[in-house]
A = this chain, B = another copy of it.
Amino acid sequence: MAAATPLLKDELDIVIPTIRNLDFLEMWRPFFQPYHLIIVQDGDPSKIIEVPEGFDYELYNRNDINRILGPKASCISFKDSACRCFGYMVSKKKYIYTIDDDCFVAKDPSGKDINALEQHIKNLLCPSTPHFFNTLYDPYRDGADFVRGYPFSMREGAPTAVSHGLWLNIPDYDAPTQLVKPQERNTRYVDAVMTIPKGTLFPMCGMNLAFDRDLIGPAMYFGLMGDGQPIGRYDDMWAGWCTKVICDHLGLGIKTGLPYIWHSKASNPFVNLKKEYNGIFWQEEIIPFFQAATLSKECTTVQQCYLELSKQVKEKLSTIDPYFTKLGDAMVTWIEAWDELNPTGDNLAKLSIADGPAKTKK
């Protein structure tokens, strides 16, 4: 009997930001090996990152990013996992799955290994329900449906742009919560996938995340974090706020819930507090800003939405800190770089072979 072809084998890239050897891939081998990996090496570019045998990958270090983007490389963070968004930009696939290198395969309550990627793909390939809440969770799942009182006109749902997966073991807590509850572990397996309703923001974690590049890619910018920036650990949050506002505007859906990965190790809460410190204050103003943000109906592409949002960021958030002026500019640079690497129609010819990665292996 021939093995079934893995879902979307040639339409999905796995993006991994890292500073170390990728031994964690051994555990993922049964699930990831058929797919192409894009590894974004953070920190010292002279360091050699070992990738286990048999994986098909391309690897970019800081020198590669600088060479490929030139002056526009300034929009890609350094010494922060926010650099992963460079991988989204250089991918040529329709779908992206991104995972942290301290995340392992989790088990479901029956003890079976969870194929996280397969669940993400299922989440992305079936619609979302952002306009009305279904109390039995995902209505498209086997054994479920829309409940009584769910308007029939809304049952087609909306295209799904993002699938946000969760974490067993070490929960994704901020530094203060880590400090207060150092022993807390997430042991609850909640067997549900749900759509985050339109108009509701959520804290998007980049640890175990999949999205449709064609639908929402240019909004998945992880901001300016780490080296030389006054903030860290808000890269995925920033992308989540922008993405949610744009998905709501464009009528796209975002799901959260399954699949779980096993998050192996808590990061250092003292180091985290230093990175998060400003964000903890700033988010008190940033979140009301995004909650109130509206985009004009002329914005019909993700790029247009994102550029309009970048203007509003500069206008309304730069009163918090000059950092937001810089971030607003970086958002524009990001879109310019995205469009350069992802030309459409006539622009295709501009793409030069010199833009390839430093190191590839098939």
Contacts and interface: CB of A to CB of B under 8 A. Distances in A.
Interface stretch (A135-143, A216-224, A296-304): A135-143
A147 B190 contact: no
Interface stretch (A67-75, A170-178, A339-347): A170-178
A200 interface: yes
Interface in A23-65: none
A151 interface: yes
A133 interface: yes
A233 B148 contact: yes
B143 A187 contact: yes
Nearest to A256: B135
B145 A201 contact: no
Interface residues of A, number: 57
Scoring A143, A176, A256, A280 by chain B CB atoms within 10 A of each residue's CB, the highest score goes to: A143
Interface in A154-195: 164, 166, 171-174, 176-177, 181, 184-192
B147 A203 contact: yes
A234 interface: yes
Scoring A152, A176, A203, A205 by chain B CB atoms within 10 A of each residue's CB, the highest score goes to: A203
Contacts of A150: 174, 203
Contacts of A237: 148-149
A126 B236 CA distance: 30
A166 B135 contact: yes
Contacts of A256: 133, 135
Contact of A192 (B132, B192, B200): B192
A4 to B, nearest CB: 25
Contact of A202 (B133, B196, B234): B133
A144 B184 CA distance: 8
Interface string A255-277: 01000000000000000000010
A280 B205 CA distance: 39
A251 interface: no
A253 B185 CA distance: 27
Nearest to A149: B203
A286 to B, nearest CB: 9
A51 to B, nearest CB: 29
A199 interface: yes
A200 B144 CA distance: 21
A135 B205 contact: yes
Contacts of A143: 184-188
List the 3 closest A-B pairs by CB distance, nearest first: A149-B203, A133-B202, A197-B200
Interface of A: 109, 132-137, 143-153, 164, 166, 171-174, 176-177, 181, 184-192, 196-205, 233-234, 236-237, 240, 256, 276, 280, 283-284, 287
10 contacts: A109-B109, A132-B201, A135-B166, A135-B205, A145-B171, A148-B172, A148-B237, A196-B197, A198-B199, A200-B200
